[in-house]
Structure 1
Amino acid sequence: MTDTSLASGVRPVSPRTREAQRVADDGTRYRDLNGNGRLDPYEDPRLDVDTRVDDLLARLSLEEKVGLLFHTVIEAGADGSVLEHPGAISKSPTTEVVTRKHLSHFNVHALDDARMAARWHNTLQAIAETTPHGIPVTISTDPRHAFIENAGVSFAAKAFSQWPEPLGLAALGDADLVRRFADVVRQEYTAVGIRAALHPTLDLATEPRWARQAGTFGQDPGLVTRLGVAYLEGLQGDSLGANSVACTTKHFPGGGPQKDGEDAHFPYGREQVYPGGRFADHLAPFPAAIAAGTAGIMPYYGMPVGLEVDGRPVDEVGFGYNRQVVTDLLRGELGYDGVVLTDWELVNDNHVGDQVLPARAWGVEHLDPHGRMELILHAGADQFGGEECVEILLDLVAAGRVSEARVDESARRLLAAKFRLGLFDDPYVDEDAAAVTVGRADFRDEGYRTQARSVTVLADDGRLPLARGLKVYAERVSAEAVARLGEQVDRPEDADVALVRLGAPFEPRSDLFLESWFHQGSLDFPPGLVSRLARVAAACPLVVDVVLDRPAVVTPLLDVASVLVGSYGTCDDALVDALTGTVAPEGRLPFDLPRSMDQVRAHGEDVPGYDDPLFPFGHGLTAPA
């Protein structure tokens, strides 16, 4: 199949778009988006972006401009229809939020089928075409090419090609591979109309209890920077164009050093701390991302505590509200002039089912929604993530608390991105091409091989690579994968080898929405589990894989396992290929593995690595083929 590369010109005109096409007297094709029968400057594909933005911005009503400043969740119908009622998480019927509230930026959730996803996207764009100036919709997504299913963070691949989590890419440390991965993501995203990525995540994995490490490139600032830039190059290209996916790099100025490893999605995890004085390490990847042209940047929820920058105390309010961070540091010192999108639900409490979740207004809980929105704009952000409360911003403008010029400032940045992506000239996609491109066989093969390669051999008594034709006792491994290794037996006593997969330990929590999806708390395996594995190991050699969505205290496993490996998003078949040497496991740890929870508790949340880890960053034994 021929790929439309980033270097190509304007994308081919789709059949649906031809219905809205007009031809000017000089033969220029354009979309008459406001229906006035003539070619206006903002509709003219020959003009530069600034000229088109200036023309359109002058035409828009205040309501249309305000709608641009909101970026909320949208859900698609399984049959490719739009949802004309509130969804499981989305708040409003689709037509209402597009035509009445004038929103045109949406974060899409479940997309199970490529053809239906493309159909839904085209239907949504057709609705947007009916608005007064036909502003096209920009669809964004959290990562959806790996394994973790968490509505607040990422989605499992399903129809898309499946690769390791970013930690697994970091375990291979290959910038060219990351660039290739991101290019595959770009091709699959654009095929279904996704033109904005709420990633990469350039936070440092310095606090081993933190729940979001799987989406990072590990603990080392240099590695994170190098792979982050490659990721941006693969998705965006040298500059935003008609075949790019616009990236929102997060979480400025570096999430991750959360007090006691608790996540800032939740009130008990709001504090971000720097006991080791390593703020500069966490900031380090972002100047490189800015130089690489990231289209957007997202500040984290975290509220800095006891932080000083350039000798000045930083206000103890969430980063999205923090003018010292967004305007003075990001826009001033670092010179960033792209879109700043807040993380989700900083303004209003969130109603999900029968739960009411407090707004993540850390440090400004005392402010009402109007006050929070005013402060976010004062801080320097352009868009409110997870919100659609346009009436609050209209109130603020009417009351003189926010000027229309301030709205224009952000609207200008947001419109410019849409023009650079070519959405005003052709936002539609081809359903047949989507069905062929998404999950293409070569993409899946590359993802599968990368899953196997990323496996990290932590300890091996010489048994790797495993022979085939063994009698295998297995736990948490599919029967199909075991059959590729040998004959499955029900008892360790009857086996030549035992193969057990374990998730990294965590403390289950489920009181608040999203909590059950976030793996937080202790990294210790339960003593009973270790004792049971010891009984297995007494009967036959034991091979253990620990799925490292975050570090684990694997110290007790060394006493019972003949082979210990770590993985970061690897299917059972790919694990077997790694263990047998069919695909050599090449992974190196992207973070230190601590010796004990005592070591973790004594460790500064912002400090990369330990003085004496059990296994250090970069450790890995490549098994001979």
Structure 2
Amino acid sequence: MHPVRKTSPEGVEYRDLNGNDRMDPFEDPRLSVEQRVEDLLPRLSLEEKVGLMFQTVIEAGADGTVLEGPGAISKSATSDVVLRKHLTHFNVHALDDARMAARWHNALQTIAEQSPHGIPVTISTDPRHAFIENAGTSFAAKSFSQWPEPLGLAALRDPELVREFGDIARQEYCAVGIRAALHPTLDLATEPRWARQSGTFGQDPDLVSELAVAYLQGFQQESLGQGSVACTSKHFPGGGPQKDGEDAHFPYGREQVYPGGRFADHLKPFPPIIAAGTAAIMPYYGMPIALEIHGEKIEEVGFGYNKQIVTGLLRGALGYDGVVVTDWELVNDNHVGDQVLPARAWGVEHLSPAARMELIIEAGADQFGGEECVELLLDLVTQGRVTEARIDESARRLLTVKFRLGLFDDPFVDEDMAAETLGRKDFRAAGYAAQARSVTVLVNRASESASGSSVLPLTKGLRVYAENVSPEAVAALGVAVARPEDAEVALVRLPAPFEPRSDLFLESWFHQGSLDFPPGLVARLARIAAQCPLVVDVVLDRAAVVTPLLPMASALVGSYGTNDEALVDALTGVISPEGRLPFDLPRSMEQVRRHGEDVPGYDDPLFAFGHGLLIISTV
């Protein structure tokens, strides 16, 4: 699909976005971004400028149409939120096949053309190239190429691979009209109970910094332009040190703590990502407790409300002048079905939604994530509590990104190109290889065979007892048997332990709580190991206490987003597993409880950051 263009008297093709039959400066593709923004901004009504400052969740119709009514996630009809509320930034959730996604995007842009100045829509997404399906943080790949979670990329310690991933993801995003990424995540995985470690690059601030910059370069390219995906780097100033590992999406996880005095470690990845040109930065929900920076006590309110952090530290000390978008739903509670997710107004729960919004603007944010309550901000301006000059400041930053992305000149995508690009064969092959390579071998004992060689690499053609492994993958390894006593090897895949919770909306998707495997499972695995060599893969979406598995596992590996077939290729040496732990694995939950939430690693871990055995392939 292509935009309708006119030709100016000078022979310049342009989009007549405001329908006045002449090429205004903001429509002139020859002018600089700064010139176009400065021409457009005073033309906009207050309502249009305010609309820029909200980014809400949107759903796509399964057939590629827009939804014209509230959905499971969407709060409003699409036309209403675009044409009446003037929103032009949307966070898309489920997308099915490539043609459907492209068709829906074009339909949405067509609606936006009907607005007074034709401001194009910017579509954003949480990560959607790996395995974890969590409506609050990420989506499984589906039609997109599938890669390990960021922890798996960190396990490979390869900036060039991360840059390649970012470039491939960029091409797939652009093909369906996604031009903003709500990632990378720069948080440090220092608290092993925290539910969001899978989206990080691990515990080491230097590795996180190096890989985050490579990631940004893959998505944004050398500079933000027409082929880029604009990145929102998060969560400023580091969202990892959650008290007791509880997540700040929920009231019981609102506190961030620094018992080890390691705030500087968590801040360290942000200056490099700012220097590399990140388009936006997102503060986390967390409320800092007993934090001092250069002798100044930091107010105990959520980072999105915190002027000392957003204006003082980010904009002042670090010199960042780009877009700041809040994390989702700091202003209003979210009711979904019979569940509620309270507004993440940590430290300011007593304030009204309007007062919360005023405080967020005063702190220095430009955009409200997950909200569409434009009337609150309009009322604040009417009451003189927020000036129109302050609105202009944020609108200018937001428009600049749209112009730099080339959306004003052509926001549409081609369905055929989308179908050819998403999940392209070479993209899938690269992701598959990364899945297998990222597998981390923790233990590889000698077998009891006459050769006495290590269990890994596994020999193909064995009789295999398997749990949580697809029949196709087992068939690629050997012959499936139903009982361990009939097997020559057992292969068991286990998720990292967690405590299921389901009271609050989103809570069931977050893996939180204890890292201990249940004793019944451990006893059952011991019985399997008594019959044949046992190979265990623990899917490390966060750390796990694997200590009780050591006496029984002939081989123990960790994975971070690896399908069954890629795991078998790694275990057999078809693709050599090269992963090294991106974080320490603790010896016990007691060790975890004694450990400072902000401190990277332990004095005496069971397996240390960087551990990973090589296996010698016989293939």
Aligned twin of 1:147: 131
Q: Does 1:120 align with 2:120?
A: no
Aligned partners of 2:525 and 2:455: how far apart in 1? Answer: 18
Q: Does 1:23 align with 2:7?
A: yes
Aligned partners of 1:510 and 1:539: how far apart in 2? Answer: 38
Aligned partners of 1:622 and 1:552: how far apart in 2? Answer: 21
1:112 Cα offset (Å): 1.0
Q: Does 1:219 align with 2:203?
A: yes
Aligned twin of 2:302: 318
1:313-392 matches, cutoff 5 A: 313-392=297-376
Aligned twin of 1:585: 577
Match of 1:53 among 7, 12, 37: 37
* Counterpart AA for 2:180: A
Aligned partners of 2:75 and 2:195: how far apart in 1? Answer: 27
Aligned partners of 2:93 and 2:78: how far apart in 1? Answer: 14
Q: Does 1:197 align with 2:181?
A: yes
Aligned twin of 2:227: 243
Aligned partners of 1:355 and 1:567: how far apart in 2? Answer: 33
Is the contact made by 2:467 and 2:493 (CA closer than 8 Å) also made in structure 1?
Answer: yes
* Counterpart AA for 1:496: E
Aligned partners of 2:141 and 2:512: how far apart in 1? Answer: 23
* Counterpart AA for 1:291: A
- TM-score between both structures, scaled by the size of structure 1: 0.97
* Counterpart AA for 2:265: D
Aligned partners of 1:126 and 1:432: how far apart in 2? Answer: 18
SS in 2 for 1:565: strand
1:182-581 matches, cutoff 5 A: 182-461=166-445, 462-581=454-573
* Counterpart AA for 1:16: H
Aligned twin of 1:12: none
SS in 2 for 1:16: coil
* Counterpart AA for 2:397: R
1:355 Cα offset (Å): 2.2
Identity %: 79
Aligned twin of 2:448: none
1:25 Cα offset (Å): 1.5
* Counterpart AA for 2:558: G
Aligned twin of 1:5: none
* Counterpart AA for 1:547: V
Aligned twin of 2:611: 619
Aligned partners of 2:172 and 2:540: how far apart in 1? Answer: 27
1:354 Cα offset (Å): 2.1
> Is there any run of 5+ residues in structure 1 with no aligned partner, and where?
1-14
Count of matched residue pairs: 609
Once superposed, which parts of structure 1, at least 4 consecutive aligned residues long, lie more than 3 Å away?
none
- TM-score between both structures, scaled by the size of structure 2: 0.98
> Is there any run of 5+ residues in structure 2 with no aligned partner, and where?
446-453
* Counterpart AA for 1:525: F
* Counterpart AA for 1:548: L
1:137 Cα offset (Å): 0.1
SS in 1 for 2:148: coil
SS in 1 for 2:209: helix
Aligned partners of 1:421 and 1:329: how far apart in 2? Answer: 28
Aligned partners of 1:261 and 1:354: how far apart in 2? Answer: 27
* Counterpart AA for 1:553: V
1:358 Cα offset (Å): 1.3
Aligned twin of 1:135: 119
Q: Does 1:603 align with 2:589?
A: no
1:16 Cα offset (Å): 2.9
Q: Does 1:64 align with 2:48?
A: yes
Match of 1:161 among 123, 126, 145: 145
* Counterpart AA for 1:539: Q
Superposed CA RMSD in Å reads: 0.5
Aligned partners of 1:304 and 1:599: how far apart in 2? Answer: 24
SS in 1 for 2:310: helix
Q: Deviations over 1:243-281 (max 9, x none)?
A: 000000000000010000000000000000000000000
Aligned partners of 1:575 and 1:567: how far apart in 2? Answer: 8
* Counterpart AA for 2:210: R
Aligned partners of 2:578 and 2:198: how far apart in 1? Answer: 18
SS in 1 for 2:583: coil
Aligned partners of 2:211 and 2:428: how far apart in 1? Answer: 21
SS in 2 for 1:343: coil
Is the contact made by 2:130 and 2:149 (CA closer than 8 Å) also made in structure 1?
Answer: yes
SS in 2 for 1:342: coil
Aligned partners of 1:357 and 1:249: how far apart in 2? Answer: 24
